[in-house]
Chains A and B, each alone.
Chain A
Amino acid sequence: MAILDINGVSLSFGGLKVVDGLDLHVNEGEIVSVIGPNGAGKTTLFNLITGIYRPDEGDITLDDQSIVGLQPHVISQRGVSRTFQTLRLFLNMSVKENVMAAAYGHTRAGVFRSMLRTPGMRREEREIERLAQERLAFFGKRLMGYRWDQPAYSLSYANRRRLEIARATATNPRILLLDEPAAGMNPSETHEITELIGELRTEGGYTILVIEHDMHVVEGISDRVVALDHGVKIAEGSFDAVATNAKVVEAYLGLQTAATK
Chain B
Amino acid sequence: MSDSTPHGSHVPAEGPAVGQDEWVARHAEQRFMPGGPLGALEDRIRRVPWWAWLILFLAAASTLPVFEHSGYVRYVAFSTVLYMLLALGLNVVVGWGGLLDLGYVAFYGIGAYAYAMLDSDKFGIHLPTIVSVPLVVAIGAIGGFLLGLPSRRLTGDYLAIVTLFFLQLFQTITTNGDAAFGHNLTGGPNGILNVDPFHLGKHDLVVQHEGIFAVSYFYVALAVFAVVFVALRFVNQSRTGRAWRSQREDPLAAEAMGMPVNWLKLLSFSFGAAVAALTGTLFAAQSASVFPLTFYFVLLIIVYTMVILGGSGSQAGVVAGAVIVSPLLELLRDPGKSRVIFFLALVGGLLLMSRRSRALGIVAIVTLAFGFAVHEILGAIDKSWIAGEHQGGFAGVTDHWVVAPAHMARWIAPTSYIGLIAAVLLVTMVRGRLRLALLVPTVYLTAFVWENVMLAKPEPARYIVLGVILIALMILRPNGLLGERRVEIV
- Chain B residues within an 8 Å CB radius of A3: none
Asked if B209 lies at the interface with its beta carbon under 8 angstroms from chain A, I say no
Among A109, A150, A183, A255: residue with most chain B CB under 10 A: A150
Asked if B490 lies at the interface with its beta carbon under 8 angstroms from chain A, I say yes
Question: In the bound complex, how far is the Cα of B2 from the Cα of A215, in angstroms?
Answer: 8
**Given the contacts A93-B245, A109-B238, A216-B7, A73 and B2 also touching, CB distance less than 8 Å:** no
Asked if B124 lies at the interface with its beta carbon under 8 angstroms from chain A, I say no
Distance in angstroms from A199 CB to nearest chain B CB is: 14
- Chain B residues within an 8 Å CB radius of A188: 10-13
Tell whether, in the assembled complex, residue B259 and residue A101 are in contact, meaning their CB atoms are under 8 Å apart: yes
- Chain A residues within an 8 Å CB radius of B134: none
- Chain B residues within an 8 Å CB radius of A35: 3
- Chain B residues within an 8 Å CB radius of A73: 255-261
Asked if B422 lies at the interface with its beta carbon under 8 angstroms from chain A, I say no
Q: Which of B50-58, B109-117, B185-193, B246-254 contacts A (4 or more CB under 8 A)?
A: B246-254
Tell whether, in the assembled complex, residue B19 and residue A147 are in contact, meaning their CB atoms are under 8 Å apart: yes
Question: In the bound complex, how far is the Cα of B234 from the Cα of A215, in angstroms?
Answer: 49
Asked if B446 lies at the interface with its beta carbon under 8 angstroms from chain A, I say no
Residue of A whose beta carbon sits closest to that of B253: A88
- Chain A residues within an 8 Å CB radius of B20: 156
- Chain B residues within an 8 Å CB radius of A88: 250, 252-253
Tell whether, in the assembled complex, residue B258 and residue A90 are in contact, meaning their CB atoms are under 8 Å apart: no
Question: In the bound complex, how far is the Cα of B347 from the Cα of A72, in angstroms?
Answer: 55
Which of B4, B7, B243, B256 has a CB less than 8 Å from the CB of A187?
B7
Distance in angstroms from B262 CB to nearest chain A CB is: 8
Which of A90, A111, A213 has a CB less than 8 Å from the CB of B2?
A213
Question: In the bound complex, how far is the Cα of B258 from the Cα of A128, in angstroms?
Answer: 15
Tell whether, in the assembled complex, residue A213 and residue B1 are in contact, meaning their CB atoms are under 8 Å apart: yes
Asked if B66 lies at the interface with its beta carbon under 8 angstroms from chain A, I say no
- Chain A residues within an 8 Å CB radius of B3: 35, 213-215, 218, 252
- Chain A residues within an 8 Å CB radius of B471: none
Q: How large is the interface on B (under 10, 10 to 19, 20 to 34, 35 or more residues)?
A: 35 or more
Which of A101, A128, A190, A215 has a CB less than 8 Å from the CB of B257?
A101
**Given the contacts A92-B487, A104-B258, A111 and B238 also touching, CB distance less than 8 Å:** yes
- Chain B residues within an 8 Å CB radius of A110: 240
Tell whether, in the assembled complex, residue A147 and residue B21 are in contact, meaning their CB atoms are under 8 Å apart: yes
Which of A89, A104, A218 has a CB less than 8 Å from the CB of B239?
A104
Asked if A84 lies at the interface with its beta carbon under 8 angstroms from chain B, I say yes
Q: Which of A138-160 contact B (CB under 8 A)?
A: 141, 146-147, 150-151, 153-156, 159
Among A104, A121, A192: residue with most chain B CB under 10 A: A104
Question: In the bound complex, how far is the Cα of B25 from the Cα of A103, in angstroms?
Answer: 26
Asked if B235 lies at the interface with its beta carbon under 8 angstroms from chain A, I say yes
**Given the contacts A107-B239, A121-B238, A71 and B250 also touching, CB distance less than 8 Å:** no
Tell whether, in the assembled complex, residue A84 and residue B253 are in contact, meaning their CB atoms are under 8 Å apart: yes
Among B4, B10, B252: residue with most chain A CB under 10 A: B10
Tell whether, in the assembled complex, residue A128 and residue B239 are in contact, meaning their CB atoms are under 8 Å apart: yes
**Given the contacts A188-B10, A213-B2, A216-B7, A71 and B234 also touching, CB distance less than 8 Å:** no
**Given the contacts A88-B253, A90-B253, A188-B11, A252 and B242 also touching, CB distance less than 8 Å:** no
Asked if A77 lies at the interface with its beta carbon under 8 angstroms from chain B, I say yes
- Chain A residues within an 8 Å CB radius of B7: 187, 190, 216
- Chain B residues within an 8 Å CB radius of A117: 234
Asked if B146 lies at the interface with its beta carbon under 8 angstroms from chain A, I say no
**Given the contacts A90-B246, A213-B1, A72 and B239 also touching, CB distance less than 8 Å:** no
Asked if B45 lies at the interface with its beta carbon under 8 angstroms from chain A, I say no
Question: In the bound complex, how far is the Cα of B1 from the Cα of A73, in angstroms?
Answer: 34
Which of B21, B235, B256 has a CB less than 8 Å from the CB of A115?
B235
Q: Which of B212-244 contact A (CB under 8 A)?
A: 231, 234-235, 237-243
Which of B12, B240, B241, B250 has a CB less than 8 Å from the CB of A191?
B12
Question: In the bound complex, how far is the Cα of B254 from the Cα of A72, in angstroms?
Answer: 9
Q: Which of A113-139 contact B (CB under 8 A)?
A: 114-117, 121, 124-125, 128
Asked if B352 lies at the interface with its beta carbon under 8 angstroms from chain A, I say no
Tell whether, in the assembled complex, residue A106 and residue B21 are in contact, meaning their CB atoms are under 8 Å apart: no
Which of B1, B231, B246, B487 has a CB less than 8 Å from the CB of A153?
B487
Residue of B whose beta carbon sits closest to that of A217: B3
Tell whether, in the assembled complex, residue B250 and residue A114 are in contact, meaning their CB atoms are under 8 Å apart: no
Question: In the bound complex, how far is the Cα of B335 from the Cα of A81, in angstroms?
Answer: 62
Question: In the bound complex, how far is the Cα of B25 from the Cα of A234, in angstroms?
Answer: 46
**Given the contacts A76-B257, A215-B3, A91 and B238 also touching, CB distance less than 8 Å:** no
- Chain B residues within an 8 Å CB radius of A77: 258
**Given the contacts A90-B245, A215-B4, A252-B1, A81 and B240 also touching, CB distance less than 8 Å:** no
Chain A residues with CB under 8 Å of chain B are 35, 50, 52, 71-73, 76-77, 81-82, 84, 88-93, 97, 100-107, 109-111, 114-117, 121, 124-125, 128, 141, 146-147, 150-151, 153-156, 159, 167-168, 170-171, 183, 187-188, 190-192, 213-216, 218, 252, 255-256
Q: 29 A-B pairs, CB-CB below 8 angstroms?
A: A52-B255, A52-B256, A72-B255, A72-B256, A84-B256, A88-B250, A89-B253, A90-B245, A90-B250, A93-B245, A97-B242, A101-B259, A104-B239, A110-B240, A111-B235, A111-B267, A115-B235, A117-B234, A125-B239, A151-B25, A154-B21, A154-B28, A156-B24, A159-B21, A170-B257, A188-B10, A190-B7, A191-B10, A214-B5
